[in-house]
Amino acid sequence: MKNEDKVVVLDFGGQYKELIARTVRELGVYSEILPGNTTASRLKEIAPKAIILTGGPYSVYDETSPKMDAEVLQLGIPVLGICYGMQLVCHTLGGRVEAAETGEYGTVRTTVVKDSLLFKEVNAGDVLMSHSDRVVRLPEGFVVTSQTADCPIASAENVDKNIYLVQFHPEVNRTRYGKKMIANFLFAVSGAKKGYSVRKVLQRQQQLIRSRVGNDTVILGLSGGVDSSVTAAVLEKAVPGQVVCIFVDHGLMRKNEGDEIEQAFKGKNLRFVRVNAQQRFLEKLKGVTDPECKRKIIGAEFVKVFEEESSKYGECFLAQGTIYPDVIESGANNSAVIKSHHNVGGLPKETRFKGIVEPLRGFFKDEVRKLGRMLDLPAKLVNRQPFPGPGLAVRCIGEITEEKLEILREADYIFNTELAAAKVHSDQSFCVLTPIKTVGVMGDYRTYDYVVALRAVLTNDFMTCEAQEIPYKVVRKVTSRIVNEVKGISRVVLDVTGKPPATIEWE
Ligand code: XMP
């Protein structure tokens, strides 16, 4: 990203850090997330056009709260401090922060009290506030620019020092003109130039891959998830004919999924190897009921199968579907991070490979999906919901058998087909086959069959979720179809538990 304007987002633990960095990129400027305590001298080397300080769940007076290098504020680089970032700047420069009598949470009306470049062509309007501490005295040289009923200093600035502070969150949709405020900070305050686009970075990445890999083969473990699928598509264009995608079919995929994955890569200029290892996995899982044991067995077997298959290709490179949030979450923004194969297990011994290639390492998930669309991957693959590495094994409670997997596949297919037909959007939706059998009645016969649970959740980050409200009409139709069409199920129940306390998956 040489010669292009960039923005550094300093992370103080705020849940919206990725949203800030993504918004900056959407506005056409490259952004990177670095730890909050990144030193001024490091930032001088990076020479960003602007710095944004994120929010965070701390109080500046906590001993353990993240601190910043005060010198950063003397570099002359424009700074935007958000929420905790605002409080930290004020605290660092001699202002005063206090716990407010009433915290402010939710959408609040703001009044602009001084013209500010940040509010150019917008009113501050409705903003999302989420804080208990607040700034009660600004450092010297700062003036208030907006207020709310409960927060007399909702934003402030020191134009001479190029420091802008907002107690609210401009990065979220609920701040009506938030994106415009960030654009104002980038372009009107910092004079940044647009230069970033996913397409441009993709082209550069592909050149880098070409020069690194030369004529060697690149091997990729392809699970059919978004990250590995897009990695395959990027590699195919970068080094056509040199890519080997190994798809380990462990038999724990959903209905038709293995075939759909194979179909998506048919006709592409790469070698697609489907290893039909279903029986191997089933054999290993026989009699196993403990969820952790199941995961471990599947992980170990996956690595074994992948090793066996990949060793047929001699000296080659290994590709990984690591994406930018994996790099950030590992806390090692600058060091090598290796994502395990969709958490299925470990990695094959990397030393065996000439090197690791990670074409998506700099991209956010929505950018990865955009790449997938640009590279003509089927919409179903690009928009795929997360699916656990151990697949249906963690959705088939207790011992796994081929018969139970088949029942689960059919029920799951009906559920998701009906949700799609009713246009009910959820971030993850699936069936869980419980080991409980209950009595039912079918015509003149008593039955004694399994109970299946429906689970559909709404979530932004998969760390927390709430149950999706499915119209009762849809639940009834799904239930009726499942008990009538899927042999082996006598009863359907609905899981409406949020996370916490429940997890999204049952195992
Ligand atoms: P939980 O069940 O912990 O799941 O609330 C959170 C998210 O992670 C997915 N998940 C997995 N993904 N390998 C994965 O790649 C796994 O072993 C795994 N287990 C859970 C889950 O589907 C949800 O999206």
Q: Quote the pLDDT of residue 350.
A: 61
151 in catalytic set: no
308 found inside a domain: yes
CA dihedral 431, 426, 327, 366 (to 10 degrees): 140
Helix (H) or strand (E) holding 298: helix 291-310
Give the separation between CA 507 and CA 386, rounded to whole angstroms.
15
282 shares a domain with 376? yes
Same domain, 206 and 184: no
CA 68 to ligand 1 centroid distance, Å: 34
pLDDT of 472: 97
Identify the residue whose C-alpha is closest to ligand 1 atom 4. 504
- Distance, CA 342 to ligand 1 centroid (Å)? 10
Residue 121: inside a domain: yes
Distance 388 CA to ligand 1 centre (A): 5
Pocket test for ligand 1, best of 253, 459, 462 (most atoms within 8 A of CB): 462
Cis peptide before 291 (omega within 30 of 0): no
How many Å apart are CA 389 and CA 344, to the nearest integer? 5
Residues with CB under 6 A from ligand 1: 342-343, 386, 388-390, 428, 462, 499, 503-505
Residue 46 lies in a domain: yes
Residue 104 has what pLDDT? 84
The answer to the question of residue 390 being in a domain is: no
Give me the helix-helix angle, 198-213 and 365-374, nearest 10°: 80
Question: Are both 421 and 375 inside the same structural domain?
Answer: no
Mutational pocket test of ligand 1: of 296, 463, 505, the residue with most ligand atoms within 8 Å of the beta carbon: 505
Looking at the CA of residue 502, tell me the nearest atom of ligand 1: 5
Determine, yes or no, domain membership for 140.
Answer: yes
Nearest atom, ligand 1, residue 428 CA: 24
What is the CATH classification number for the domain harbouring 367?
3.40.50.620
DSSP single-letter state for residue 360? T
How many residues does this entry show for the chain? 507
The backbone torsions φ and ψ at residue 273, rounded to the nearest 5 degrees and listed phi first, read: -110, 115
Which residue has a Cα nearest atom 20 of ligand 1? Answer: 388
Say if 285 falls within a structural domain. yes
Do 225 and 342 form a contact (C-beta atoms < 8 A)? yes
Residue 160 shares a structural domain with residue 21: yes
- Ramachandran assignment for 415, one of left (phi > 0), alpha (psi -120 to 50 degrees), beta (any other): alpha
> What b/e sequence results for 481-491 when a residue is b if at least 16 CB atoms lie within 10 Å of its CB, and e otherwise?
bbbeebebbbb
pLDDT of residue 30: 97
- Residue 387 Cα: closest atom of ligand 1: 22
CB contact burial 282-300 (16+ within 10 A = b; e otherwise): bebbeebeebeebbebbbe
Residue closest to 231 by CA, chosen among 202, 193, 262, 195: 202
338 and 432, same domain (yes or no): no
What is the rounded CA–CA span in Å between residue 452 and residue 436?
A: 9
Cα(315) to ligand 1 centroid in Å equals 33
Query: So what's the pLDDT on residue 15?
Result: 86
Nearest-atom index, ligand 1, CA of 465: 5
Q: In a 3-state reduction of DSSP, which class is residue 179?
A: helix
Least confident of 206-215, 234-243, 344-353, 394-403: 344-353
Q: Which tops the pLDDT comparison, 281 or 131?
A: 281
Average pLDDT, the chain: 93
Do 338 and 407 sit in the same domain of this protein?
no
Residue 207: CB atoms within 10 Å = 11
Q: How far apart are CA 394 and CA 299, in angstroms?
A: 13
- Residues 394 and 291 sit within 8 Å (Cβ to Cβ): yes
Q: Is residue 10 part of a domain?
A: yes
Q: 506: buried, middle or exposed (CB in 10 Å: 19+, 13-18, 0-12)? A: middle
Q: pLDDT > 90: what percent of the chain? A: 84
407 with 283, same domain?
no
Contact 66, 13 (CB under 8 A): yes
pLDDT tens digit sequence for 411-447: 999 999 999 999 999 999 999 999 999 999 988 889 9
Select from 121, 175, 116 the least CA-distant residue to 145.
116
Is-contact 452 438, C-beta < 8 A?
Answer: no
Distance of CA 321 from the midpoint of ligand 1 (Å)? 17
CA distances from 326 to 332, 335, 365 (A): 9, 12, 10
Domain count, the chain: 3
pTM equals 0.88
CA angle 399, 253, 298 (to 5 degrees): 55
| pLDDT per position as a tens digit, 220-255 | 999 999 999 999 999 999 999 999 999 999 999 999
**Closest C-alpha among 138, 137, 108, 136 to residue 124:** 108
Residues 202 and 185 placed together within one structural domain of the fold: no
- What number does the ligand 1 atom closest to the CA of 342 have? 15
CA distance 235 to 360: 10
Q: Ligand 1, atom 6: nearest CA belongs to which residue?
A: 462
- Could you tell me if 464 and 364 lie in one domain? no
Give the residue, by CA position, lying nearest to ligand 1 atom 18: 388
The confidence score (pLDDT) of residue 461 equals 79
DSSP state string for 412-460: HHHHHHHHHHTT---SEEEEEEEEEEEEEEETTEEEEEEEEEEEEEE-S
Nearest CA to ligand 1 atom 7: 462
CATH code of the domain in which 75 resides:
3.40.50.880
pLDDT for 333 equals 47
Q: Is residue 57 part of a domain?
A: yes
Q: Active site residue: 171, 257, 301, 367, which one? A: 171
How far is ligand 1, taken at its centre, from the CA of residue 295, in Å?
11
Shortest-distance Cα residue to atom 9 of ligand 1: 388
- Residue ranges of the alpha helices (H) in 135-277? 178-183, 198-213, 226-238, 257-265
Last residue of a domain, one of 189, 214, 229: 189
Nearest ligand 1 atom to alpha carbon 503: 5
Ligand 1 atom 10 nearest Cα: 388
Domain boundary among 189, 223, 246: 189
Q: Is the pLDDT of residue 385 over 70?
A: yes
User: What is the model's pLDDT at position 150?
Assistant: 87
DSSP annotation of 380 reads: H
Distance 110 CA to ligand 1 centre (A): 39
Nearest CA residue ID for atom 24, ligand 1: 386
Do 209 and 339 fall into the same domain? yes
Q: Is 36 helix (H, G, I), strand (E, B) or coil?
A: coil
Active site residue 396: no
Nearest to 51 by CA among 65, 29, 61, 67: 29
- Active-site residue (options: 18, 32, 83, 131): 83
Identify the pLDDT of residue 340: 35
> Which of 412, 504, 506 best tests ligand 1's pocket when mutated (most atoms within 8 Å of CB)?
504
Give 157: exposed, middle or buried? Use CB within 10 Å, 0-12, 13-18, 19+. Answer: buried
Q: Determine the distance separating the centroid of ligand 1 and the alpha carbon of 505, expressed in angstroms.
A: 7
So what's the pLDDT on residue 330?
A: 73
Mean pLDDT of 173-195: 95
Domain end, chosen from 143, 168, 189, is at 189
Q: Which atom of ligand 1 is nearest to the CA of 295?
A: 17
State the catalytic residue, choosing from 169, 250, 341, 342: 169
Determine whether 171 is an active site residue: yes
Nearest-angstrom CA–CA distance, 304 and 36: 40
Q: Which residues pair with 9 in a beta bridge?
A: 33, 52
Q: Picking from 65-79, 102-116, 367-381, 448-462, which range would have the lowest pLDDT averaged per residue? A: 102-116
Domain range for 142 is: 6-189
The verdict on 36 and 124 lying in the same domain is yes
For residue 176, the one-letter residue type is R
| Å from CA of 192 to ligand 1 middle | 39
Residues 328-372: tens digit of each pLDDT: 877 644 333 333 333 433 455 567 899 999 999 999 999 999 999
CATH classification at residue 454: 3.30.300.10
- Ligand 1, atom 19, lies closest to the CA of 388
Residue 434 alpha carbon to ligand 1 centre in Å: 18
pLDDT at residue number 337: 30
Assign 410 a pLDDT band (cuts: 50, 70, 90).
Answer: very high
In this structure, the answer to whether residues 153 and 276 fall within a common structural domain is: no
